[in-house]
């Protein structure tokens, strides 16, 4: 059993690298990919700590069409230098920080007294809206991350400032240039109709090497459709839990029970 989608404290998960590795071993996983948002630092450490278990990965936030957000998983050989992916991350980081700072300005105007600098206390790596929620929780404005998204920083909230994304084509090219494979993450996790999902898949299929077919957002029928689509287009089939620890308590590591036949071997 494998799990090729997992987050740690290096992005918006609650668990340390060591905790995730321990849980993976307890769950009987034979392969685990650490795929933190827009950072590979935790994945490198995890592979160093458990080289026979952990695959080095990343989840990049990318743009599609009219700057709609998609997520792109990257899986890499162990000796990857990340020269090209590093540039994509930096581009995205600048765009995201500008949007985050503007979001905080709007929150301050609404009476929420938090600062951009304090967000780093809640992350070992990248900063995102989960960390804004953590800061809001610390100050007693909300009681949970979910409440923060529902009432304060969700896409529908007045404080939210959308960011500009690096196009998926550029991100996939960077992953390939660094010797990795690019996989479209959780197609059914986006706010799209079936028709829109099919249109999106047809747009990105020539840019990616695989599709994440097994994910908590996909029903059994959804997964069957994605497996059929990936097979017809000669794409890799992957899957994972999208584990975030306490930040998504309804999701457990290895819960998708993805078969070992979908293991990724790159070395």
By residue range, what is the domain housing residue 33? 2-81+179-262
Task: Look at residue 104 and tell me if it is in a domain.
Answer: no
Task: Look at residue 241 and tell me if it is in a domain.
Answer: yes
211 and 238 Cβ atoms separated by less than 8 Å: yes
Task: Look at residue 200 and tell me if it is in a domain.
Answer: yes
Task: Look at residue 90 and tell me if it is in a domain.
Answer: no
Task: Look at residue 166 and tell me if it is in a domain.
Answer: no
Q: How many domains does the chain have?
A: 1
pLDDT tens-digit readout, 79-106 = 678 999 999 999 998 988 899 999 999 9
| Of 39, 28, 40, 22, the residue nearest 3 (C-alpha) | 28
Task: Look at residue 164 and tell me if it is in a domain.
Answer: no
266 and 33 Cβ atoms separated by less than 8 Å: no
3-state helix, strand, coil in the chain (%, to 5): 45, 15, 40
Q: Is 89 helix (H, G, I), strand (E, B) or coil?
A: helix
Q: Is 70 exceeded by the pLDDT of residue 160?
A: yes
Reading the block at residue 155, the tokens are 């896409």
Q: What is the pLDDT of residue 239?
A: 98
Domain CATH for 236: 3.20.20.140
Give Cα separations from 123 to 120, 210, 244 (angstroms): 5, 29, 13
40 and 82 Cβ atoms separated by less than 8 Å: yes
62 and 37 Cβ atoms separated by less than 8 Å: no
Give Cα separations from 5 to 8, 9, 57, 133, 233 (angstroms): 11, 14, 8, 23, 22
Q: What is the pLDDT of residue 267?
A: 65
Task: Look at residue 211 and tell me if it is in a domain.
Answer: yes
pLDDT tens-digit readout, 105-155 = 999 999 999 999 998 888 776 788 989 999 999 999 999 999 999 999 998
**DSSP annotation string for 140-158:** TS-SSHHHHIIIIISTTST
């Amino acid at each position: 059993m494998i799990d090729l989608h997992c987050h740690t404290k290096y992005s918006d998960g609650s668990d340390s690298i060591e905790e995730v590795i321990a849980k993976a071993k307890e769950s009987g996983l034979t392969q685990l990919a650490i795929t933190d948002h827009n950072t590979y630092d935790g994945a490198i450490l995890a592979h160093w700590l458990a080289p026979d278990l952990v695959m080095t990965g990343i989840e990049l936030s990318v743009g599609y069409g009219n700057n709609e957000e998609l997520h792109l998983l990257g899986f890499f050989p162990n000796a990857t230098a990340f020269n090209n992916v590093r540039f994509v991350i930096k581009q995205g980081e600048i765009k995201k920080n500008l949007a985050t700072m503007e979001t905080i300005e709007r929150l301050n105007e609404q009476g929420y007294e938090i600062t951009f600098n304090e967000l780093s206390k809640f992350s070992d790596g990248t900063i995102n809206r989960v960390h804004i929620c953590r800061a809001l929780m610390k100050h007693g404005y909300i009681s949970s991350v979910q409440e923060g998204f529902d009432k304060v920083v969700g896409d529908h909230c007045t404080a939210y400032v959308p960011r500009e994304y690096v196009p998926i084509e550029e991100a996939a090219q960077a992953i390939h240039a660094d010797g990795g494979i690019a996989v479209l993450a959780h197609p059914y996790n986006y706010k799209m109709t079936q028709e829109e999902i099919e249109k999106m898949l047809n747009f990105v299929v020539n840019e990616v090497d695989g599709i994440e077919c097994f994910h908590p957002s996909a029903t059994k029928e959804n997964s069957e459709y994605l497996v059929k689509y990936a097979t017809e287009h000669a794409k890799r089939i992957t899957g994972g839990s999208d584990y975030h620890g306490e930040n998504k308590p309804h999701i457990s590591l290895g819960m998708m029970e993805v078969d070992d036949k979908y293991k990724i071997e790159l070395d």
